[in-house]
Chain A
Amino acid sequence: MKVIKFTNLLALAIAMSLSVVGCKTQHPNVIKFDDQGRPIAGSGADQTAGNAGKLDTDSSGINKSDTTGIAMGNGHPGWPEDREALKADTIHFEYDSAVVKPGEHSKVTAVADYLKSNSSNAVKVEGHCDERGTDEYNRSLGERRAQAIRTELVKAGVDAGRVDTVSFGRDRPVDTGHSEAAHRKNRRGEFVVLTPPK
């Protein structure tokens, strides 16, 4: 009897601790940066849920992109767009976050593979937001989402010059509803294949 109680209590404790992690996480993998963009020593592993200040809602280990800012190329003006080829690989984000979630990494890999086997093509990453932020804040956030995806593609071996980015902020929702379900669909990065002009 007592054992059962303990077990219940243990389960409850674990559930509680999971819910803590689930709704409020500063994951150990989150690295902070100083004003110069350098990672702050010790800012990763010593984070705990108690001192977290960020509204990250990911429950599965966040792997924040360790970007140092990869310079953009000149883009691919005039290259015809194919919005269908990589449509299934649209990447979704948490609220107010520009972190590519681990669960979305297989899509990054798929896009990287596509670019490897279609070596003359390029890709444009379009960053989008839900309606909850202000206009220009969202425009910056959408760009950071696109840049985070670009960084992951570069890590996966794609040449940085083949990846363009653009932010639409909250101007192009896929769902114009106001529910959380609609918001979730709208926080995204879409891939548009660019093919060389004939």
Chain B
Amino acid sequence: MKHVLLTYFTSCLLTTTVALAQEEIPIPKFIEGQAKPIWLNVTGINGEALQVLQFDLYVQGFNFTNADGAQYLISGSANGNFQARATDKYNKSTIVAHAYSGETLRRQVHQFADDFVSALQRKPICRTKIAFKGESRPNSEVFIADFDGQNAKRVTQDGSIVAAPEWVPGRMALYYTSYKLNHADILYHDLSSGDRKMFARFGGSNMSPAPSPDGTKVAMILSKDGWTDLYVQSAGGGTPTRLTKSPQDESSPCWSPDGQWICYASKDAEHRVLKKISPSGGQGQRISTSGVPNPTEPDWSPDNKWIAFTSQTRTFQICVVPASGGEARVICEGEDPSWAPNSRTLIFAHRTENGYTLSLLDVPTGQVKDVSRISGSNSQSQPSWAR
């Protein structure tokens, strides 16, 4: 009798240990950026122009030092108009030299930063736009802004809830979820004309719209058939095609840049995973995120090499994995990453005591800077980078 009880007791202990071990979700170690920044020395530029220039280049993997330690030397002036020259310290060649006029000083500096990185064979990002959800509880509106959070404009005034704004690639247009009509509907919003049209208003919730790279299709999560599944529909309308059929959750679809795949967050044997599926149907295929648990909110880089995503443990981490799957890397704390056109800078949201703030992250170096906060909204989240 005693033996039996002891065995039972021991097995209970063992089971408890196993159970606890399973509940204990390991928090991945914070890994500093692997690449070193490219060092710059700036002279002659100060005030707002210097601030803007340093912000613009820091979030693209550059950093600042004295002339001895720098690879490139940038000299210029900002007396009314901005002019600057960048030279390669080693071969003494001029990379770029321009004088700018028109618009604002800030825009002139952005133009120079773009000219400089273009001369280094990189895609410029400093004159691109972002969209995001700006929240003042209990309501939220869609905003757009310059990539650094400046010149923010509210594009909805519904006094309701919005969610998940996504740019139509190459167009001044967004899809987002709106609760304006007392229902979770997906709207299409042409920002040039201001026209809005109802895109998806099926029974249940219409969520997480993701326009395809060519803008002809939209992936989304619908519950019209009783489960939250992934669907794709022609941008022109029509009947949505159901791509998944599972009582488990599907969420946060995004597209590969060639339009061949839709990547989404799903579950496999009760574990959260990323999957990809052809927009014409078939089986969802798992994308491994080895070393990082609970992936969600994927975003596929424009150069087709990476998928950025959020890992949820006790906190939230921005992670990157090769688009084909493999070893995932934790970069920093944050949620809901969206790639810049350069496939190296991400915008993401992170939690603060007073709601969410948006930040920019240079993935190779791990350098992070917060974007400007918007007055009149106490939380900014769900960023989408126009590309």
Contacts and interface: CB of A to CB of B under 8 A. Distances in A.
A13 B8 contact: yes
B289 interface: no
Nearest to B184: A166
Contact of B226 (A33, A54, A142, A147): A147
Contacts of A45: none
By secondary structure, the B interface counts as: mixed
Contacts of B319: none
Given A10-B5, A72-B226, A165-B205, A134 B249 contact: no
B146 to A, nearest CB: 23
Contact of B269 (A53, A55, A132, A137): A53
A73 interface: yes
A133 B20 CA distance: 21
Interface in A156-198: 164-169, 171-172, 176
A172 B15 CA distance: 38
Given A19-B16, A72-B204, A140-B207, A134 B23 contact: no
A134 B161 contact: no
Interface hub of B12, B183, B221, B271 (most chain A Cβ within 10 A): B12
Nearest to B356: A135
A19 B251 CA distance: 33
Contacts of B244: 35
- Chain B: interface residue count, which band? 35 or more
A103 interface: no
A197 B162 CA distance: 27
A171 B134 CA distance: 12
Contact of B228 (A19, A75, A143): A143
B207 A23 contact: no
A42 interface: no
Interface in A10-69: 10, 12-13, 16-17, 19-20, 23-24, 32-33, 35-37, 49-50, 52-55, 67-69
Contacts of B248: 33
B161 A141 contact: no
A50 B251 CA distance: 29
Contact of A147 (B18, B164, B204, B312): B204
Nearest to A141: B249
Contacts of B316: 134
Contacts of B203: 71-75, 164-165
A23 B20 CA distance: 8
B312 A9 contact: no
B205 A167 contact: yes
Contacts of B182: 77, 81
B129 to A, nearest CB: 20
Contact of A136 (B137, B208, B225): B208
A162 to B, nearest CB: 12
Nearest to B19: A24
Contacts of B269: 32, 53
Contacts of B205: 139, 142-143, 146, 165-167
B203 to A, nearest CB: 3
Nearest to B185: A166
Contacts of A75: 183, 203
14 contacts: A10-B5, A16-B16, A23-B20, A24-B23, A49-B15, A68-B226, A135-B382, A137-B249, A139-B221, A143-B228, A147-B223, A165-B203, A166-B205, A167-B223
Give the 10 A-B CB pairs with smallest separation, nearest first: A72-B203, A69-B226, A24-B19, A16-B12, A140-B251, A70-B226, A140-B249, A54-B270, A143-B205, A167-B205
